[in-house]
Structure 1
Amino acid sequence: MSEKRKLYYVYDPMCSWCWGFKPTWKQLEQKLHNHVEIQYVVGGLAPDTLEPMPMQMKEQIASYWHKIERLLGTQFNHDFWKNNEPSRSTYPSCRAMLLAREKGLEKQMLSRVQEAYYLEAKNPSDPIVLATLAQEIGFDFDSFLSDLVSNSVNEALLEELKFARSIGGNSFPSLFVETSEGIVEIPIDYQDSESMFIKISALF
């Protein structure tokens, strides 16, 4: 890899497959560190709603967690489904990522949201939960909570979702390389970072 190019990692903080992909993604990110500019892009898996998640959807998502556990060995705290009344909304957590990005803390915020959701059975659809997690990594609770529901952050989210869709980021996680010929999607390999590294390297 002689010329440094850009890799887009399209993710959603509440996507269970992104959580399952995390160990392999970290390996790939480390391999690419000196060769490619990596840009995180939030995907917006589920829009805002205050409606409780239907039982059928709860059961479906819970089944994904079990499937990912079996396939990848990923840890999940299944008490989430007993301890919370979830809504199908990931936009609040996506906005939290944009706020954290402004201070160079997107990766830290992503880790805290994923850990809180999947290991601590907390609900990141709840702005109070998000502000509490942000406070843990150095944000002011009240300011973060206020910014989280601001029009400017919502507009920034909509712009980012528009960009994600424009490059083909309709499922999560997704990887795209920007080359002189255009955008190239890299197939996700949940268990082998080397296979993705080779495909990315071949583009340069």
Structure 2
Amino acid sequence: MVNAAVTVHYFYDPLCGWCYGAAPLIEHLAERNDIKLELHPGGLFNNRTIDQASRRHFLDSDQRIHALSGVTFGDAYLAKMRKTDTVILDSMLPIRAILAAGQCGKSGLEMLKRIQVAHYQQGKTAHAPAVLAELAQAMGIEADVWHATFAATNEQDAISESTQQMMQYQLQGYPSMMVEKQGIRQSVPVQSFFGKLGAWDGFLNRQSENG
């Protein structure tokens, strides 16, 4: 458990390409014991069928994300977005899985990472309950515990809370981030640190030192 004077609030969606690009920064932050990380899930997609024009837009964005952050978009994902007749994206069940993982005593951030890999590298249907159950099993969660917890978890409350906070602090889109020190929050331009792990580490050091 991190007991720190500085908290980073990370507003994300598991199927947001730019959030996938932020993953190396978030993982590095999570490794520190001097800054607390809180995840706030968004809800970009609700069982949405993605048309060809939207897919082309996503793939163009993916190229920019890769160039800036270095994250890999796998061949299976690219083939799915280019060639599959019907592509459906749903953030709701992946968010439920992230919350459920935490309730099972595991890391919600680890579940987020596994979901991103399943979607963006392996081309899997990230909202399929069977896929999410496989990810939970890989994290060491027993099947009966997982199914009961997953069924009982309400992602809508967490999404609503995130939306309210984003409106309160005038945050625009995902990923968004705020640093909280002594009850005061300030927005962080997280995308400006893509591919700049040294600068990111220096930024986090300054937050911790001034916390």
Shift of 1:99: 0.6
Is the contact between residue 127 and residue 148 of structure 1 (CA under 8 Å) also seen in structure 2?
Answer: no
Cα gap change, 1:12/1:139 in structure 2, threshold over 3 Å: closer, same or farther?
Answer: same
Of residues 53, 60, 63, the one that matches 1:63 is 60
TM-score, normalising length from structure 2? 0.78
Shift of 1:181: 5.3
Cα gap change, 1:4/1:28 in structure 2, threshold over 3 Å: closer, same or farther?
Answer: same
User: Are residues 1:18 and 2:19 paired?
Assistant: yes
Distance in structure 1 (CA, Å) of the matches to 2:55 and 2:146: 29
Structure 2: state its 5+ residue gaps: none
User: Are residues 1:190 and 2:194 paired?
Assistant: yes
Shift of 1:142: 6.0
The runs of at least 4 consecutive aligned structure 1 residues that moved more than 6 Å come to none
Distance in structure 2 (CA, Å) of the matches to 1:121 and 1:168: 33
Shift of 1:143: 5.6
Look up the equivalent residue of 1:139 and give its one-letter code.
I
Question: RMSD of the alignment, in Å?
Answer: 2.7
Cα gap change, 1:16/1:139 in structure 2, threshold over 3 Å: closer, same or farther?
Answer: same
Distance in structure 1 (CA, Å) of the matches to 2:158 and 2:147: 16
Look up the equivalent residue of 1:60 and give its one-letter code.
H
Which residue number corresponds to residue 74 of structure 1? 71
Shift of 1:115: 1.1
Distance in structure 1 (CA, Å) of the matches to 2:122 and 2:128: 14
Is the contact between residue 29 and residue 37 of structure 2 (CA under 8 Å) also seen in structure 1?
Answer: no
Distance in structure 1 (CA, Å) of the matches to 2:38 and 2:201: 20
Shift of 1:108: 2.0
Distance in structure 2 (CA, Å) of the matches to 1:95 and 1:121: 20
126-135 or 96-105, which moves further after superposition? Answer: 126-135
Distance in structure 1 (CA, Å) of the matches to 2:5 and 2:116: 30
Which residue number corresponds to residue 6 of structure 1? 7
Look up the equivalent residue of 2:107 and give its one-letter code.
L
Shift of 1:184: 0.9
Is the contact between residue 15 and residue 116 of structure 2 (CA under 8 Å) also seen in structure 1?
Answer: yes
Secondary structure at the aligned position of 1:79 is classed as helix
Is the contact between residue 44 and residue 91 of structure 1 (CA under 8 Å) also seen in structure 2?
Answer: yes
Secondary structure at the aligned position of 1:120 is classed as coil
Shift of 1:121: 1.0
Of residues 39, 45, 49, the one that matches 1:52 is 49
Is the contact between residue 28 and residue 196 of structure 1 (CA under 8 Å) also seen in structure 2?
Answer: no
Shift of 1:21: 1.8
Shift of 1:201: 4.2
Distance in structure 1 (CA, Å) of the matches to 2:171 and 2:150: 23
Distance in structure 1 (CA, Å) of the matches to 2:84 and 2:138: 22
TM-score, normalising length from structure 1? 0.80
User: Are residues 1:122 and 2:119 paired?
Assistant: no
Q: How many residues align?
A: 197
